[in-house]
Amino acid sequence: MVQNGKIVPRREIRSLDVFDLIKNTLGFNVKYVSKEHFSTLVQLESVENHNDPGDRLIISQAITEKMPLISSDTKFPKYRKHGLDLIYNR
Q: Which pLDDT score is estimated for 15?
A: 64
What pLDDT digit, counting tens, does each position of 41-76 carry? 989 988 888 888 889 999 999 999 999 999 999 999
- The answer to whether the beta carbons of residues 74 and 66 sit under 8 Å apart is no
- Pick the closest to residue 22 from 4, 38, 45, 11 (CA basis): 38
Q: Is 9 domain-assigned?
A: no
Name the DSSP letter for residue 18. H
> Full-prediction pTM beyond 0.85?
no
- The answer to whether the beta carbons of residues 54 and 17 sit under 8 Å apart is no
Domain that holds residue 79: 15-88
Report CA 2 to chain centroid distance, whole Å.
12
- Pick the closest to residue 39 from 58, 76, 21, 64 (CA basis): 64
Q: Which pLDDT score is estimated for 55?
A: 93
In total, how many domains does the chain have? 1
